[in-house]
Amino acid sequence: LAKTTQPISMDSYEGQEVNITCSHNNIATNDYITWYQQFPSQGPRFIIQGYKTKVTNEVASLFIPADRKSSTLSLPRVSLSDTAVYYCLVGDRGTDKLIFGTGTRLQVFP
């Protein structure tokens, strides 16, 4: 199965940019790489997805290098409400199963 690695936790302050990287190998060639945000007692919520290079939406940017062995979620100017756990989601090359990363707990301080 595809293997993913994310930092367990990160700390930041309000207004700073935060970059969270997910390393993933053996992912499906044609699948998008997707990121989710999860608050306590809630299900994961879609943030952004991309295939290659850079994608930007109103809340985040996603950087994916040409070899697609990693992806970096960038949150510009974080606020307290961005405190959550962030997961990457990738498709497994052999089975097409959607596999979540291990998750990164982001704590934003005032």
Q: Tell me which residues touch other proteins (CB under 8 A).
A: 28, 30-34, 41-46, 49, 51, 87, 89-91, 95, 97-100, 102-103
The DSSP symbol for 93 reads T
For 1, residues 6+ apart whose C-beta sits below 8 A from its C-beta are 26, 92, 94, 95, 97, 99
Least distance (Å) between residue 107 CB and other proteins:
17
Of 61, 74, 63, 65, the C-alpha closest to 104 is 74
Least distance (Å) between residue 76 CB and other proteins:
22
- Closer to other proteins by CB, 45 or 77: give it: 45
Dihedral sign (CA 81, 76, 32, 97): negative
Least distance (Å) between residue 72 CB and other proteins:
17
Q: Both tokens of residue 86?
A: 């962030």
Least distance (Å) between residue 37 CB and other proteins:
11
- Closer to other proteins by CB, 46 or 109: give it: 46
